[in-house]
Each structure stands twice: as structure tokens, then as C-alpha cells.
Amino acid sequence: MDVYKTVKDFAGDEEEYSLDENNPFNSSLRIDSELFKDEENVVYTVISVKRLCPSGRRRGENWDIIENGKAALRLKGERFTNKEKEFLRTPPGVRFVIDGYKNGWRSINKFKQHIKDNDDYIKGNKARS
């Protein structure tokens, strides 16, 4: 028994689909990889942030910056104030850490210097005041 059915078996009254080179609306990709060009294949670095909170302690929470699956930098939570840690737990805080790493900040002091200038951090503190 032939497992593969022809288009005519399923189409019924409809026209059989055919590849028409002259009609751009009725054509499929000529080659499977037409939309992907191997020679332009660029590998981008993937940067992510993982919040680590060992044994549920807030004081010991850390943020690992992971680049291409490898831990590149660890920000120790002990070095940040409670308000700074609260900001770093939010999505704008994670974005701040990723942008800072992309800008070349490789120390906690750099992050602490720039965190006070961040608009989301300032807005969060004004909302609590």
C-alpha cells in the first residue's frame, strides 16, 4: 500500500499547486537555504544574567553574568545596599547589568558608580519616598 498520497487525493475541486517561476505570488523557495546565507553567518555573543540565592539567604545573593554559556563575572550581593539589590532584581536592573557588562564594566565599583545615575533606579526610589 502506498503511504504517500498525491495532491489530487486531498485537493478535491481545488487546483493542483504547481511551481510557477514567472508568478512571484505562486512560488516557493528554490533552495531550502535561500533565506539563510552561509557566507554572512555571524556568531553573536549571548550575554545573560543569573541571580543566585544560595540556601534562600538574601544577604548572600549574587548575580552571575554569563557569556556564551560560561560565567564571565560574579557580582557579590554583599557589596550592594538593600535598595540597589532590590533594583537589580527587577527587569530594568537585569538590563542595567547586561548593558554595563557590554560597556566594559568588569568590577562592582563600576556598577555601583553608575547605578545611582540610572533612571529606573531613581524612579524606584522616588516612588518609595
What are 94-120's pLDDT values in tens digits?
Answer: 999 999 999 999 999 999 989 888 777
* Residues paired with residue 48 on neighbouring β-strands, in sequence order: 66
Nearest in space to 99 (alpha carbons), one of 44, 63, 62, 47? 47
Query: Residue 39: inside a domain, yes or no?
Result: no
Query: Residue 28: inside a domain, yes or no?
Result: no
More confident residue, 29 or 110: 110
Query: Residue 9: inside a domain, yes or no?
Result: no
58 pLDDT above the threshold of 80:
no
Query: Residue 121: inside a domain, yes or no?
Result: yes
Instruction: Supply the range of the domain harboring residue 116.
Output: 47-128
Q: In which order are the strands placed within the sheet that holds 62-67?
A: 47-52, 62-67, 70-76
How many domains would you assign to the chain? 1
Query: Residue 33: inside a domain, yes or no?
Result: no
Phi and psi of 33, rounded to 5°?
Answer: -100, 30
pTM: 0.62
Q: Side chain identity at 4, as an amino acid letter?
A: Y
Query: Residue 112: inside a domain, yes or no?
Result: yes
Determine the straight-line distance between the first and last CA of the chain, rounded to whole angstroms.
77
Query: Residue 23: inside a domain, yes or no?
Result: no
pLDDT of residue 123: 73
Query: Residue 10: inside a domain, yes or no?
Result: no
